[in-house]
């Protein structure tokens, strides 16, 4: 909670630097890459969304703001509710969505949703299960998503893949701690979803590059930037290769899953 409450920068413009608290001198290609990722993630998360839509752990509204503007959701979704446990993040989201009458924001926790049973048609929770303290909290959140969805409703959630090449390098070469609920394997995550009563429909994997780039970019800014090349490689794989071979989505570092409440 403290971490999210002290994200200080705020503004009305939907500028990625503000939304993500990036340094002012972040290179343009990094901004373009992040913007592509968020557009593509929002497209997957909200495609086919209709009726009442919940963005659980909406942060500063990155994905909801994109959905409000997208053709796939804007005509069929009647109401977007953004919920987050951080008042600071919610204020930023509400500020950015001030001119969208169909969006509302309220405070609450994914482990104890402040909504009635079967009150949503579509629930999205991006980058949130991975922030929870343990696997029990993540399981509780999945139960809560199940409770508030109508039968046949859609849930989209994501996880970091503990068996992606990049995670394995970090674990075995750099001895980093790779633990649930932040990192799980695709089969473990599928099991958690099925235990909560969901039926998995599709996956969308992101980030196929050899190692994470933008977090470390400042080290390389003055020389030829190896991250530029790996971003290009990763986006080529994401756009040209992965869509032709659906199973390769499961090799991504970050994976979104779309499932249905049975």
Sole window of 97-105, 109-117, 143-151, 250-258 interacting with ligand SAM (rule: CB under 6 A): 109-117
131 binds ligand SAM (CB under 6 A): yes
Q: What are phi and psi of 133, to 5 degrees?
A: -70, -30
For residues 96 and 255, give the distance between their C-alpha atoms in angstroms, rounded to a whole number.
27
Residue 20 CB, nearest approach to ligand SAM (Å): 8
Sole window of 23-31, 83-91, 160-168, 239-247 interacting with ligand SAM (rule: CB under 6 A): 83-91
HSE at residue 32, side-chain half, CA atoms within 13 A, is 7
User: Which residue spans within 57-164 are E strands per DSSP?
Assistant: 77-84, 103-107, 120-125, 149-161
Residue of 49, 66, 68, 86 that binds ligand SAM (CB under 6 A): 86
Query: How big is the site for ligand SAM, counted in residues (CB under 6 A)?
Result: 17
Q: Distances from the Cα of 122 to the Cαs of 143, 197, 213, in angstroms?
A: 15, 15, 32
The DSSP symbol for 112 reads B
- Residue nearest ligand SAM, Cβ-based: 59
210 binds ligand SAM (CB under 6 A): no
Using CA atoms of 229, 231, 32, 8 in order, give the dihedral in degrees to the nearest 10: -110
Residue 62 CB, nearest approach to ligand SAM (Å): 4
Nearer to ligand SAM, 111 or 220 (CB): 111
Nearer to ligand SAM, 131 or 139 (CB): 131
**Which is nearest to 125 in space by CA: 193, 33, 29?**
193
Residues that bind ligand SAM (CB under 6 A): 4, 57-59, 62-63, 84-86, 89, 109-111, 126-128, 131
């Amino acid at each position: 909670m403290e971490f999210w409450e002290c994200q200080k920068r705020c503004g009305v413009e939907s500028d990625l630097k503000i939304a993500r608290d990036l340094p002012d001198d972040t290179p343009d290609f990094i901004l373009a890459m992040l913007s592509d990722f968020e557009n593509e993630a929002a497209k997957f998360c909200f495609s086919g969304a209709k009726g009442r839509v919940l963005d659980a752990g909406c942060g500063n509204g990155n994905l909801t703001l994109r959905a409000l503007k997208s053709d796939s959701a804007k005509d069929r979704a009647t109401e977007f509710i953004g919920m987050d446990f951080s008042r600071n993040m919610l204020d930023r989201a509400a500020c950015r969505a001030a001119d969208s009458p169909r969006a509302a924001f309220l405070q609450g926790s994914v482990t104890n949703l402040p909504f009635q049973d079967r009150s949503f048609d579509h629930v999205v929770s991006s980058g949130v299960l991975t922030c929870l303290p343990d696997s029990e909290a993540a399981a509780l959140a999945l139960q809560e998503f199940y409770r508030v969805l109508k039968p046949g409703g859609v849930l989209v959630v994501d996880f970091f893949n503990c068996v992606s090449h990049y995670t394995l390098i970090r674990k075995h070469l750099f001895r980093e701690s790779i633990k649930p609920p932040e990192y799980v394997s695709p089969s473990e995550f599928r099991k958690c979803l099925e235990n909560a009563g969901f039926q998995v429909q599709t996956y969308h994997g992101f980030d196929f590059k050899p190692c994470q780039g933008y977090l470390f970019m400042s080290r390389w800014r003055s020389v030829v930037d190896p991250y530029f090349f790996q971003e290009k490689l990763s986006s080529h794989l994401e756009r040209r290769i992965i869509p032709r071979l659906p199973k390769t989505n499961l090799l991504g570092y970050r994976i979104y899953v779309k499932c249905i409440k049975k």
